[in-house]
Structure 1
Amino acid sequence: MPHLPTNPAHLGRAASASVEPDFTGPDWFEAYAARHEADGQDGRLVSQFAFSESWDSWEMHPHGAELVICTQGACTLHQEHADGSTETVTLAPGDYVINASSGVPAT
């Protein structure tokens, strides 16, 4: 049985879905991109991660929005929007926020 923290899922074109190989760390993403290159910006990765300490880096998604869901505990996100404004959002279990990409408004 796939387990989301171990085996992310891919949602592709034509409403397809697939179980991905074991997540092994940052290099895994390169192989994922190669496997699903044909889906282009229509492909979506569904993954779940646990964090026990604050990140010391940031990330961005220039080609699509990101849905962040808190499943346990709480998390605080510091967002910088395309217009340069910033926002701090704290999530509790079941809460979610959409990190919009440039040109993709959150709705």
Structure 2
Amino acid sequence: MSTGELTREEDVLEWLVQNKSTGDEDDIIEDVTAKTLDTLIQSIDHLVVLFYDNDDEESMQVLAELENIDDDCDKHGIQFVKIDDASAAQEFGIDDIPSLVYFEKAIPNMYDGEF
């Protein structure tokens, strides 16, 4: 997939769905744009989103830990993505970064535990 294709939400969505169904064992949580995130929330029944800041040490520590369970989530039909976009986080009422949100059929559920 070329860099240009990463900006087209349909291509990213197709890749994520295909990746899930092939059982790809990469421990990498894919970064998405706000537009792609909106599409994924509407298209995937079980989606976990990490709202993070690439320049924040705590965010990067949380991301590293979550990448360890990404494959397990895939095995249970839960897609995992991340987004580094403060305005997208604010649209969901998120003030504290990093934050983890589980969307079940587009309904958000915030993780309230400690990272």
What TM-score comes out, normalization by structure 2 length?
0.38
Larger Rg: 1
Relative to its length, the structure with more strand (as a share) is 1
Which protein has the bigger helix share? 2
Higher relative contact order (CA 8 A, sep 6+): 2
TM-score w.r.t. structure 1 length? 0.40
